[in-house]
Amino acid sequence: MSKRKIKFSLVYRDMWQSAGKYMPHVDQLERIAPAIIDMGCFDRIETNGGGFEQINLLLGGNPNKSVRSWCKPFNEAGIETHMLERGLNGIRMRPVPEDVRKLMFKVKKKQGVDIARSFDGLNDENNIIDSVKYAKEAGMIAQGTLCITHSKIHTVEYFVNIADKLIKGGSEEICLKDMAGVGRPASIGKIVEGIKKKHPEVLIQYHGQTGPGFTVASILEAVNAGCDYIDVGMEPLSWGTGHADILTIVAMLEDAGYEVPKVNMKAYMEARRLSQEFIDEFLGYYIDPYNRQINALLIKPGLPGGMMGSLMSDLANNLKSINKHLEKKNKPVLTQDDLMLKLYDEVDYIWPKMGYPPLVTPYSQYVKNVALMNVMQMLKGKERFSMIDDNTWDMMLGKSGKLPGKLSPELIEMAEKEGREFYTGNPQDLYPDELDKFRKEMDENGWDLGEDDEELFELAMHPEQYRNYKSGAAKKAFEEDLAKRKKEGGGLFSKPKAKEEGSEAVSTQPSTMNIDVNGEKFRVTVSYGDEPAEAPKVNEKDSQTVHHHTKEKDPEMNGEAEELTSPIAGTFYLTKEPTEKSLKVGDTVSKGDVLCYVEAMKTYNSIKSDMDGKIVAIVPSNGDEIVEDDVLFLIR
């Protein structure tokens, strides 16, 4: 076999996000960059994407400074940098206006990012081709991306055809993003072979996470078929829900007859030591031990390893409520493993019914959330699909792009019954330009637009997190949360304990805190899941309409009012968007009206009235944390 040269990319950003969702501070990134360069084995480094910038904001840091400082040493060393972006969703969980998307690529290029790896959570090539166009206009290398998953419709031919459309649409490179590591090795090889057969000049990069254990074999098959670049990790964050270690892959490919770089082991050990130092300083408190394990149970549901930490917390937080209900019915209680297997089976059952959306951010969360809601509701004697959040409906209705498969007749019937309309147009048209609005806000606040409009971009992409960063509220919230975790233990610093049935783990779900910064009060939401949650903006007028009551204290409660309780635990909001009008005590409602929202597991679940009547009490305050069966409204 001829010695074809194989190149490597260190996905240092994704290593951290797949392990625990937080990143090192900018000064730590600056310290480790020289060691990574001295390793001498990387042609590319992943420097940005996903939750990187939101995480910086939550830490109280400036993400633009982080990106510029992190890219600079690699730019100077001639190592290419690349970012991950989500097409229509940019680098956040929800769709982004076109003017903000275009500005993102211009800003990132100026900050030192060379390559834009653009994917769409539905594999809708139209959303990706838009990003390809914007990236090339900004002077970046456009890398179109396939979200690899395994099903009867996600065939080799399916992926090769999408790659063909992306290349014809202007994509200069192709990435196989095997985000859950469930791509079967032989199929991965055939996909690479099929793309190379049609487009031998196009570079192909393989990204595979090691959760279920296929990835090392997949890398060998991909390289044998003609793959050019391989994404790798390194200790102390290799394997588990992360990535294969550079040392293993270099040794394997060298034995297979390929030309691979030598790894400077002194530099490797220094980079490893520094990463461990960052873990010991604070990051370890946010790394779930489950994320350090390879788990073959992930093969069936195909869930991405990066969400396993938050998933295990979801299970633990809901188990207590489920078992409480089962005990009342004199039924056997469940262990966390029982609930996990029920969830995996439910994901496997509903995924085809929901149109086979690739299980990647944000759609992996949507499918998982519906599955967990179904399990919980059915255990309590209710029907499947009786709780579907609005974000998931938007996906199924076509507001984010085309589903790969067909929606089941029962979900179509449910949508029509609820008066929901399907959308077949360009999803970008649903989200009008917003930069002028954000320019006005920055001007009114006296905020600088930043070098190359980068601060304007940050506010437009992450409005709530940016405002909390500017106020200082986010940093204070993070510091208080870290201090609490250090005191109570958590993450890698807690020894595994035998959990009581239904006991709660340290939550990685969004927590809401009241913060006082220089005498000014703020309410902020901090999330440690796959993606930091973005709380809805609550204006002063809305907050004044909230009436906090209890049944015992309200003089109008004479026994005739009915309680409307929450079906899930989460954060209570009267509205989802600033433009919505919130309910007040005294308002009349009809059965089926949306009364409020409960934000849980990164999605907003609309809570509807089950009767006609008049609101006589709103029990929680806006932004309150609630648990399942808490009373939300009293209606008469």
Do residues 221 and 249 both lie within one domain? yes
Based on the domain organization, do 249 and 275 belong to the same domain?
Answer: yes
Q: Are residues 319 and 256 in the same domain?
A: no
Say yes or no: 173 and 226 in one domain: yes
The per-residue DSSP string of 404-416 comes to SSPBPHHHHHHHH
Specify whether the CB–CB gap between 130 and 119 falls below 8 A.
no
Closest CA to 118 of 96, 90, 95: 90
Is 111 in the same domain as 28?
yes
| 62: Cα separation from own chain's centroid | 20
394 and 261 part of one domain: no
- 88: its two tokens: 């229509």
pLDDT surpasses 90 at 540: no
Instruction: Name the residue range of residue 142's domain.
Output: 7-292
Establish if 481 belongs to a structural domain: no
DSSP class of residue 202 equals S
435: in domain: no
- From 377, 407, 429, give the residue that closes a domain: 429
Q: Residue 180 falls within a domain, yes or no?
A: yes
Helix, strand, or coil here: 177?
strand
CATH of the domain at 583: 2.40.50.100
Average pLDDT over residues 349-375: 91
Same domain, 248 and 370: no
Domain boundary among the residues 228, 261, 292 is at: 292
Strand 588-589 versus strand 613-618 pairing type: antiparallel
Summarised one tens digit per residue, pLDDT across range 90-108 is: 998 889 999 999 999 999 9
Reported as a single tens digit per residue, the pLDDT across 466-487 is 999 999 999 999 999 999 999 9
Question: Which pLDDT does position 590 carry in this prediction?
Answer: 92
Structure-derived torsion over alpha carbons of residues 534, 539, 544, 546, reported in degrees to the nearest 10 = -30
CB-count burial class (<10 Å; 0-12, 13-18, 19+) for 217: middle
Tokens describing residue 320: 């207590």
* 42, 140: one domain: yes
CATH number of the domain where residue 69 is located? 3.20.20.70
Q: State the average pLDDT over residues 246-256.
A: 98
Q: Does 124 score more than 80 pLDDT?
A: yes
Q: Whose structure tokens read 């070098």? A: 451
Q: Are residues 249 and 302 in the same domain?
A: no
Q: Is residue 104 part of a domain?
A: yes
Q: Is 557 within the bounds of a domain?
A: yes
Residues 303 and 222 in one domain: no
Shared domain for 261 and 352, answered yes or no, is no
What is the token pair recorded at 217? Answer: 């074999």
Average per-residue pLDDT in the chain? 87
Query: Cα 187 vs. chain centroid, distance in angstroms?
Result: 26
Section 257-269 average pLDDT: 98
Is 197 within a domain?
yes
Shared domain for 305 and 283, answered yes or no, is no
Q: Is residue 398 part of a domain?
A: yes
Number of Cβ within 10 Å of residue 295's Cβ equals 17
The domain tally of the chain equals 3
Q: Which residue, of 429, 455, 473, is where some domain finishes?
A: 429
Tell me what pLDDT residue 98 has. 97
Quick check: is 394 in a domain? yes
Average pLDDT of 130-142? Answer: 98
Q: Dig out the tokens for 16 from the structure.
A: 């951290």
Reported as a single tens digit per residue, the pLDDT across 149-205 is 999 999 999 999 999 999 999 999 999 999 999 999 999 999 999 999 999 999 999
SS3 556: coil
